[in-house]
Structure 1
Amino acid sequence: MNQTSDDPRNEMTSPEALPSVDDFEAIRPYNDNEVVATLARLVRNDEFIDTITRYRLPRLARYAPRVARALARHGLRRAVRNIHTVGDFQNHISHYMARMIQNTTNTFSVEGLEHLDHQRAYLFIGNHRDIALDPAFVNYALYHSGRSTVRIAIGDNLLQKPYVTDLMRLNKSFIVPRSARGKRAMLAAYQQLSNYIRHSIVEDNHPIWLAQREGRAKNGVDRTDSAIVKMLGMARRMKDKDAPVSETIAELRIVPVSISYEFDPCDQQKARELKARNDGVAYEKIAYEDILSIAAGITGDKGRVRLVFGAPLEGDQDSYDSAAQEIDRQVLENYTLFPSHYLALEATGHAPELVDTRDITPADRQAFQRRLEQVPEELRPWWLSQYANPVLNRAGREPL
């Protein structure tokens, strides 16, 4: 007989086996005193080294893999020799981030950060389009404004390789449980997560980035999952079951964040998944597809990118649903509609009254057309819908 995740035989039966809600050891980012050992482990990791060679030394990796591996390992060892803290590590990767922005975007602009208290930690809840870059752009903006970078929520489904886990936790990522089995185990895991997030904001005064929903908005429709907001309140409710929702929300200092990409490097992969699901075909990811998506997002052309920080949610939210609605309102209001969005809607033939072409140049049309021509014919409706839906979403219309 098949056992589902709700089958009691799948649950951890011993209370001692469940994670302590106040013990963050298994989910927290790495501390400064763990950095040197972690980097040494990465230098020794052949799979990580091979990944580097495929991107940095592709021809040599194909014809002389042992030589490529030796060169990559030597280069990595030299690159990390002066990195001793998490701050050192983030200083180092900020240079790669700057190079990525220069090489793969036309512009990157930031708004709203100047209105936030420099000394206070915030829980940034944002729309989610790219696995790694959404929080990376937030961090880049915070870093260059002299603020503390965020601790990043990342699902354990993405940590399929030990070297990926090490890299993410070095970069201040903490682990969101998605693989826990059984109701009791899942409840304990989310209580632990809620406690960690509250502890970070309230006790450590350290900012957090969290996606507004589980998984990327592949269809271009940004909606906050109110269950995530309710999860955030678990920690306070465990301490005071009668605590008003308004106080629970206010103490977390939630700030909605909206990120907009003119072009999505993973748009064809997303279109393929959307089509499969529409056709009633079970979409099965290829091996390490999420890791490949991270690489594609980093290296692919993004056009213009705009990041807008909203206003903190005050203590006037009387329910978790109303808090989710306010996050949605700010994310939508602050989302930038680029020419690619209007041109996609125009190409679908839907809602022509919403197509604003006043600021669209011939160069914009040419860039959009070149990109569209690279999309297989059978995927084009799903590719176009990703870009058209934000226009419909802003107008309160049903998505495609």
Structure 2
Amino acid sequence: MTETGKDVAGTGAFVRGRPTLLSYIALGAYTFWLYAFGPALALLRAEIGFSYTMISVYSAMWAGGSILAGLTFPAAAGLFGRRALLWWTALVTTLGAALFTFSHALAPTLAGAVVMGWAGTTVQITTQSVLADQHGPRSDKALVEANIGAGAAAVLAPLALGALHGTPAGWRAAMAVPAVGLVVLYLFYRRTSFPAVSLRGCGKDRASRTGLPAACWSLCLLVAVGIGVEFCVVYFGSELLTATTGLSTSSATTAMTVFYAGILLGRVAGARLTRHPGRTRTLVWWSLAITLAGLIALWLGGNVTVALGGLFAAGLGIANQFPLTLALALAAAPGRTDTANARAQLLGGVVVLVSPFLLGTMADHIGLAGGFSVAPALTALSGLLLLAARGGSAVRSGT
């Protein structure tokens, strides 16, 4: 193990050093806000009143910030260094969350969504790049483990919002939890060293200017489409439960915990299944199949029991799509971690910009049940992308 806790390539050891633990916890803090955002929109809509399309506008603002992060991250990481970039963008994310949380009008809350989208996604990309470079061939395991913490935060976020809604503190009090966690994290980990940024990941060499391999682009698009499916459920899951099962807004918001519990359980299982290399692509296929079955049950179930079962299955399937497909994408561009990571997030931002907006617009015209057909359609597209990427370059971990 090196000074920063980096694994030695080829030893097969998986060491969770300080950079790894820091990345896990920082990602969990950001993910609390990410998964609180959808339920918070439902509660905000109930307070000030706006259309399904406006929910999509909020998601577009967040996605726009994510696109900006994907465009600027490689250069920013090379200019400032990953450590400084992580802490400063964590601070800016906190400020964006405060703007969104404590405002009671459209304009400032929309601005807060943009800030959280840009700075928060930069935090996410930074931690993912650190984990990929720390663990090399075992980055699939590191990314899945990191997302266990993210899954736990995802369970707590809607539960906390639903529990505090109607109390004197209000749902907005729950949005302060990640800020407290980041302050504690800074006190203990502010001097932790990160792996050096590869010049090829910063766009400074000839190889970077020629672009990523075609197989990497296909896999980055696969990552993006999976993000789009997840956000369709995050933004519209509680609204769909209300529309198709008759649950109240508060109950439907709390019921979204079922989705996040499925994500958490799926990622715990994924951490065990990735203990041995060579299973990544197979696990992605299983994830897509489970996701599609769950989405169809949620979409067409019509009663609370079937809908919640479908919601849980969708979470179980979606759980490992992002970390596993990202591991495939990063492994398809060796030495280009920052660039490949940023491009996956950029494409993810574009898909998140388009898919929930399309869903919301369709919902306003043909009903939410009809609009939600976007989610299973995207999952089917993911299967086609995985087939298309099959002939691409081999991944480092043998997956």
* TM-score where L is the length of structure 1: 0.26
> Which structure is higher in RCO with an 8 Å CA cutoff and minimum separation 6?
2
Structure with the greater alpha carbon radius of gyration: 1
Q: Larger helix proportion, structure 1 or 2?
A: 2
